[in-house]
Structure formats: C-alpha cells, structure tokens
Structure 1
Amino acid sequence: MTTTMITTPGLADVTTGIRYALRSAADWTDAARLVADELRGRLPDIAVLTPEQRLGDPDKPTGHLLHAEPDGSFSVTAVVWRPGQATRIHDHITWCVVVVLQGVEHEELFDADLNPIGVNDNRPGEVTGFAPPGDIHRIVNTGTETAISLHVYGTDLSRVGSSARRYYEPANAEN
C-alpha cells in the first residue's frame, strides 16, 4: 500500500529513490549524501515540468512544488531561472540536493562571515547536496539559456513555504 500521491508525471522513480535513501540516513549530512547518490542513478527528465512551467518568470526565479511527502520528510521542487536571475545570499532550514536539468547554475559559496569560499558551475546531470551549517550560498544563472533544476529538501515545503532560513545582505556583495 502506498502512502503518497504522485501528482507530477515522471517523479515516481525519483521519489521512490529518495525514500529508499532516507531509510538509512543517520543525520542531515548523511541524508544529503545518500539522496544525491540515489538521484545520480535516477535523473528525472525535463518533462516533469509542463512547457508553460519551463518558461519561467521574466522577473524572478520561479519554483514549482512537484511533490511533498505526506510524512513531511521531503519535498521536490523545480526551479526555473532565466538568464541573469539570481537568489539572494541565504542558508537553509534543512538539507538539500540539487539536480541540474538544463542550463548552468553558477553557485557562489560563503563562510559564516560572508567571505567568498568557492564557486561551482553546475551543468545538466550534475547532482550536488549540502546540509546546514555551512550552506550559505547564492545561485545565479550566468548563462544565455533558461536553467532548470530539481531541488529535494528535507522538509514539507507545502507547510513551511520556503527552504531559506536566513537572507544575508553583506555590504561587499552584489544582490
């Protein structure tokens, strides 16, 4: 007997893999690693979004909640980023795993004092994961095409609304 309703076509294999990975996770860091490993073998197709959803919003990155596990253990969201769109610098309320489906997501990483500590250019098929603390970052679509990524968060976003815990406004960072 299943306890979930998959409302987005193409996600059944992904959500099954996430549930499997979370069964053996000891903590948030472990959950992020295990879910990332599981998703590398179950990359979803861009068709998890409708053609209309893939267009995004000209004013800001657009998130589409695709699945929220009934027990609150995880959510799956797709984010559509048009060229030049970015998040503010932020951290998270829980672990996260990101799969890039299209385009390039440029990630800027910061330490607790908001000093830059690294950058990643994540391309289609690349899977990354992280868990607080040490998850302060900003995402920018530095490419010329729309970027689309799938985000798995260790909470029910339909209940909490956002994965961001805090936003940062450093004097030396562009926002």
Structure 2
Amino acid sequence: MDVTTLIDAVARIKSQADELTQQQIVDSLSRTLAEFTTSAENQVFAEAYSPSGNYTRLLLNDPQEPYQIVLVFWGPGRGSPIHDHDDTIGAVSALTGTAKEIKYIVTRCAGEQVKLTQGDEFTIAPGRVTPILPEDDKQLHLMVNEETRWAATVHVYLTAIHRYRQYEPAPDGLFRTAEISLWFDECGVGRRMPASTRS
C-alpha cells in the first residue's frame, strides 16, 4: 500500500465513521495501517529520510483535511512525555524499528493535578498496531525508542488534533497537566513522496 492509498483509505473511514462502532473504526484503521507499515517500499522511504534533531514530526496528508496521518521519527533513546489525544479515535504502528508504548490511566483528579496509574506496555513494530480510543485506559500514553538506531512510527488520528495535554510529574507524585499545540516540521509530505514509493 502506498501513501496515497493510505490517505484515501483513512478519508473513506472518516466519511463512514458515523455509521460504524468505535471497534469497527479501530479495526479498519488497524488493517490499513498494518498493510502500510509492512510495505518494504514505505520502509525504504523512511530509512532514506534524514530527520533533523532527535525528533521529527511530518504530516503526510493535507493540513486542511479533518483527520491526520503523522510520520514521526524518533532518535535513539528519544521518547515522548505522557500525553493524551484530545479524545480522538486513532491507531499507531511502526514503519521502521520499534517503539515501546506505556498506557496510563487517570485515577484521581485534584484541581489541575491528577494521579496516574501505569497500564499496559506494548511493543509497536511494523504491522503491530496499538489503538487510541476515548476510553480512560486507551487515551494516555508515552512512547520511547529504546533502540540504538532511528525508529519511525505512523499515527492516524481520525479527528485532527490541534491541542492536547501533556502530563508533567510534580514533586508530590501527582502530574500537572499542560495544554500543548500540536506542531509539524513539514505538512503534506505524503503528496510529495517519491514515485518509487507508489504502486
């Protein structure tokens, strides 16, 4: 599956979302994403890309579209803070390398601070997909590349995220929430991918 087919498939799922259950949406996204991330041609593109810094985030689809397909490059040992996804439905898989995901659950709110309990751990690899759902145990996570080489992950958000919350540890063992604007190093990259990655 090439990037244009991935974008078209996500657009189709988005257009049918009102008629589907959350599980049907996640299942459709997962099948599509697994096919995309196991494509050797897509992996070659990711391996050849030269990310800047230790972390690079590229929006593959057009920023005007109501969903987002994001390609993230993680330097060795780099990871994200604990964060949510603004209650969107989505899915994440690796295109190259692997990333460890740890889910978190909010177990108590105290004003602007919350108590978090660690949930499941999952190794994200090409073809292995983890869901993002509005439920308490499927919305918050952190990700980290524990390998000594770069990793690339693909994130599909069925509703475009513009702002989300990070959870920063406080001295008392609680976490303080901070609202963050989602940014991209480049937008619309998928439409400009080389023809060699398209079928």
Deviation at 1:42, TM superposition (A): 3.9
Q: Deviations over 1:127-154 (max 9, x none)?
A: 2221123311100001111100111112
TM-score of the superposition, structure 2-length normalised?
0.67
Is 1:114 the counterpart of 2:116? The answer is yes
SS at match of 1:86: coil
User: How far apart, CA to CA, are the structure 2 residues paired with 1:21 and 1:115?
Assistant: 32
Corresponding residue to 1:144 among 135, 144, 148: 148
CA distance in 1, matches of 2:63, 2:44: 20
Distance 1:34 1:121 in 2: 20
Counterpart of 1:89? Answer: 82
Counterpart Cα distance in 1 of 2:95 and 2:84: 22
Distance, in Å, in 1 between the alignment partners of 2:5 and 2:72 is 19
Alpha-carbon distance change, 142 to 87 in structure 1, aligned in 2, over 3 angstroms:
same
The corresponding residue for 1:155 is: 159
Question: In structure 2, the residue corresponding to 1:166 is in which secondary structure?
Answer: strand
Structure 2 residues without counterparts, runs of 5 or longer: 107-114, 175-199
Secondary structure, aligned partner of 2:84: strand
What's the Cα RMSD here?
Answer: 2.5
Select the structure that is richer in helix.
Answer: 2
What's 1:168 paired with? 167
* Matched-pair identity in %: 25
Q: 1:141 to 1:50 in 2, by over 3 A?
A: closer
- Report the counterpart of residue 6 of structure 1 in structure 2: none
Provide the C-alpha distance between the structure 1 equivalents of 2:50 and 2:90, rounded to a whole number of angstroms.
24
Paired residue total = 155
Give the Å deviation of 1:16: 1.9
Aligned mates of 2:157, 2:21 — CA distance in 1: 14
Q: Distance in 2 between matches of 1:144 and 1:125?
A: 21
Match of 1:21 in 2: 13
Per-residue deviation at 1:24?
A: 3.3
Q: Distance in 2 between matches of 1:83 and 1:30?
A: 34
- Kindly tell me: are residues 108 and 27 of structure 1, through their superposed partners in 2, closer, same or farther at Cα, counting changes over 3 Å? same
Does the 8 Å CA contact 2:14/2:67 hold for their aligned counterparts?
no
Instruction: Provide the residue aligned with 2:127 in structure 1.
Output: 125
Is 1:46 paired with 2:43? yes
Cα deviations by residue, 1:46-100 (Å, 9 ceiling, x for unpaired): 355583xx33233x42101111364x33111110001110111110122221121
Change (3 A) 1:121 1:144: same
- Structure 1 residue 30 displacement after superposition: 4.2
Q: Partners of 2:47 and 2:123 in 1: how far apart?
A: 25
| Bigger-Rg structure (1/2) | 2
| TM-score normalised by L of structure 1 | 0.75
Say if 1:61 and 1:87, in contact at 8 Å, map to a contact too. no
Partner of 2:95, secondary structure, is: strand
